[in-house]
C-alpha cells in the first residue's frame, strides 16, 4: 500500500497511513467561533441566505406590481409589517457587508495587465466601487426620477 501511495499520491487525497498512536484532532463543530476572522467569514457567507430572501421579495414585489395599483399598495402595506421590515433591514446590512467584502477581495481573482505590468489592487477595487456608485445612481434615477 505505501508504495502505491508514494507513486500515486493523487489517488489517495488526504490519506495518512494508519498509525494507532498518532493523535488526530477533529475540528470542533464551532470552529467558526474560534477566531475573529472565522466569525467574520461565516457572517459573510450567511449573507447568501439574505440575498436569496431578497430575490423572493423582489419577485413578490414584481408580482404585486403586475396585478395593479391596489395590489401594489397592499404589498407596500404588507412590507410595513414589523417582521418583514426588520427582515429587510437585516437583509440590507448583510447585503452591504457582502458588497464591501466582495469589492475588497475582487482584485485577488482579477489581475489585469496594462503595458506588461499588473494594475495595483487598489485600482481594481476603486473601479469596482465606482461601478457600485454608478449602478446605485442609475437605479435611483430610474425609480425616482426618469
Partner 1 sequence: MPDRITMQVTRYRPEEESGESVQEYEVPCPKDWVVLDGLNYIKDRLDGSLSYRWSCRMGVCGSCGMTVNGEPKLTCETFLSEYGSGPVRVEPLKNFPVIRDLVVEIGDFMRKLVMVKPWMIRDQEKPVSEGEYLQTPNELDEYKQFSMCINCMLCYSACPIYGLEPGFIGPAAIALAQRYNLDSRDEGSAERLDVLSEHDGIWGCTFVGECTEVCPKHVDPAGAIQRYKLTAALAGLKSFVLPRSAR
Partner 2 sequence: MAKRSLEPMLWLLFSAGGVVSALLVPILVLLLGIAFPLGWLSAPNYEHLFAIVRHPLTRVALFGVCVLSLFHGAHRFRFTLYDGLQIKHLNELINLFCYGGAIVLSIWAGYLLWRLS
User: Is residue 43 near partner 2 by the rule CB under 8 A?
Assistant: no
Instruction: Report the 10 Å Cβ neighbour count for 102.
Output: 13
114 lies in the binding site for partner 1 (CB under 8 A): no
Write the CA distances from 78 to 27, 49, 58, integer angstroms: 44, 21, 13
46 binds, among partner 1, partner 2, none (CB under 5 to 8 A by kind): partner 2
Scanning the structure block, which residue is given the C-alpha cell 417582521?
Answer: 83
Minimum CB separation of residue 89 from partner 1 in Å reads 27
Tell me if 88 contacts partner 2 by CB under 8 A. yes
Q: Phi-psi category of 77—alpha, beta or left, where left has phi over 0 and alpha has psi -120 to 50?
A: alpha
Site membership for partner 1, residue 105 (CB under 8 A): yes
Binding residue count for partner 1, defined by CB under 8 A = 32
Buried-exposed string 107-138: b where 16+ CB fall within 10 A, e elsewhere: beeeeeeeeeeeeeeeebeeebeeeeeeeeee
Tell which positions 47-66 bind partner 2, by CB under 8 A. Answer: 47-49, 51-52, 54-59, 61-63, 65-66
At 49, list the grid cell: 441566505
Q: Please, what is the Cα angle at 47 between 138 and 87, to 5 degrees? A: 80
Report the interface residues with partner 2, using CB under 8 A: 27, 29, 32, 42, 45-49, 51-52, 54-59, 61-63, 65-66, 68-69, 72, 76-77, 79-80, 85, 88-89, 91-92, 95-96, 98-99, 102-103, 106, 109, 131-132, 135-136, 139-140, 142-144, 146
Report the interface residues with partner 1, using CB under 8 A: 5, 9-10, 12-17, 19, 21-25, 27, 31-32, 34-35, 37-38, 41, 45, 105, 108-111, 116-118
Amino acid at each position: 500500500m505505501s508504495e502505491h501511495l508514494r507513486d500515486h499520491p493523487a489517488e489517495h487525497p488526504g490519506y495518512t497511513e494508519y498509525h494507532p498512536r498518532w493523535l488526530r484532532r477533529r475540528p470542533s463543530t464551532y470552529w467558526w467561533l474560534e477566531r475573529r476572522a472565522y466569525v467574520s467569514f461565516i457572517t459573510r457567507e450567511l449573507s447568501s441566505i439574505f440575498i436569496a430572501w431578497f430575490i423572493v421579495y423582489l419577485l413578490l414585489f414584481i408580482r404585486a406590481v403586475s396585478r395593479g395599483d391596489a395590489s401594489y399598495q397592499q404589498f407596500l402595506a404588507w412590507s410595513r409589517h414589523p417582521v418583514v421590515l426588520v427582515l429587510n433591514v437585516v437583509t440590507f446590512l448583510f447585503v452591504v457587508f457582502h458588497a464591501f467584502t466582495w469589492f475588497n477581495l475582487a482584485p485577488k481573482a482579477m489581475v489585469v495587465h496594462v503595458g506588461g505590468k499588473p494594475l495595483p489592487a487598489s485600482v481594481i477595487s476603486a473601479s469596482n466601487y465606482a461601478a457600485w456608485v454608478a449602478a446605485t445612481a442609475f437605479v435611483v434615477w430610474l425609480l425616482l426620477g426618469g
